[in-house]
Structure 1
Amino acid sequence: MTRTPPDPVHHLTRRETLAAGGSLATLALAGCTSLTGGETPAAVSLAGGLQCDNCGMVVEKHPGPNGQVFFADESPEGHENPARFDALKQCLFPYTMEREQRGWTVEAVYVTDYSKVDYDVSGDGQPRRSYISSHVAPESFALAEDLYYVVESDIRGAMGQDFVPFSVESDAEAFVDEYGGRVVRYDDIGPALVGK
């Protein structure tokens, strides 16, 4: 009797594992409850030449964390939800805070989750001259309220020093060990921290 050798085992790369997990997470989040009590809208791709609703720069062409905000009864000028951003500290948070002061209701906020992506830090290694990569695929985003944010680090995004979000606290702490800063939660981010 002849035995057939088993099929070769395919070991997933970290990138394949992250992509699969991100896709599952995006599907799972699509059915979650939003900040307004309804169904949470799913994160979308920010590719395709989309401009930041705060500064006007093309999101995918610049380094750093990206974000998107869905509003309950309002939408950004000139297009449907979500509002999209190429930076968090200088764009997403100020824009969102201003809209909330006008009475807009935030339904969901998504930001880049650097625990879910293979990110790169590039530059000359000098403080304030190194940049973290940008990721615009839907699976690279996570709900902002669930993440840990590295603030006041030496790493820059599209508009300068930015907040770098992670879903895994130990990832955020390791980032601080390498690039400085400190870890805060979403609820800790207010006008005082944004204005620094």
Structure 2
Amino acid sequence: MKSLYLSGARALSIAVLSFGLVACGGEEEIAKTFDPVAFHPDDECHVCGMIIEEYPGPKGQAVTDKQARKFCSVAEMFGWYLQPENQHQNFTLYVHDMQHGSWDEPSDEHLIDARQAYFVVASTLQGAMGAALASFADEHAAQQFAAEQGGQVLRFADIDQALLQSAAGTMHGMSHGMSHGMQQHH
């Protein structure tokens, strides 16, 4: 009887331990990847409410299984993402690969994972809001763009609020200079 009790207790212990391991593993949320969505003429920026397609430059989006938040610029997407309440949500971030399409009409067929992209910051081109961040899938293409347009190539983890504010200040200064004699592109 004692060996039956020990066998049962051992089996119960193994079952409880196994259940505990499964439960612990279940608590870890596995990051899912969601597919990008096309931009449409009536899409509004999730942050500022502007009509997205009225502005040049690459756009961004945060996609979940239920919705896509779209942004009028890569900088707006970063500004939203960098808020603490957004950094731990399960979504996939996408940006236009500017090696395809043009600055005025980025190609929705070439949306890339923002976390894998290369970003050119402080280029001379204007975006929708604040800093213009050009996004690329290929580092060489980003380096070439930076050499032609000015700017610095950074990775996703390098971009923070301070960088966005600094780059927006640079763009504001350029816009101010442009309004005094140079034609501003909208």
TM bucket (normalised to shorter chain) is 0.5 to 0.7
1:142 Cα deviation from its structure 2 partner: 0.4
Q: Which runs of 5+ in 1 are unaligned?
A: 1-35, 73-79, 120-131
| Code of the aligned partner of 2:79 | P
Q: Are 1:158 and 2:105 matched, yes or no?
A: no
Aligned length: 138
Q: Are 1:60 and 2:53 matched, yes or no?
A: yes
Q: Which runs of 5+ in 2 are unaligned?
A: 1-28, 167-186
TM-score, L = length of structure 2? 0.67
| Structure of higher RCO (CA pairs closer than 8 Å, 6+ residues apart) | 1
In structure 2, the CA distance between the partners of 1:102 and 1:182, relative to structure 1 (3 Å rule), is: closer
1:144 Cα deviation from its structure 2 partner: 0.3
The question of whether the paired residues in 2 share the 8 Å contact of 1:52 and 1:59 is answered with yes
Alignment correspondent of 2:97: 113
Q: Percent identity?
A: 29
Moved over 4 A (4+): none
Matches of 2:144 and 2:98, distance apart in 1? 12
Q: Map 1:45-194 to 2 at 5 A.
A: 45-71=38-64, 81-89=67-75, 91-98=76-83, 100-101=84-85, 104-115=88-99, 117-119=100-102, 132-135=103-106, 137=108, 139-194=109-164
Q: Which has the larger radius of gyration?
A: 2
Question: Aligned-pair RMSD on alpha carbons?
Answer: 2.0
Alignment correspondent of 1:43: 36
- Hey, which of these two has a bigger chunk of helix by percent? 2
In structure 2, the CA distance between the partners of 1:92 and 1:103, relative to structure 1 (3 Å rule), is: closer
| Code of the aligned partner of 1:49 | D
Matches of 1:113 and 1:157, distance apart in 2? 15
TM-score, L = length of structure 1? 0.64
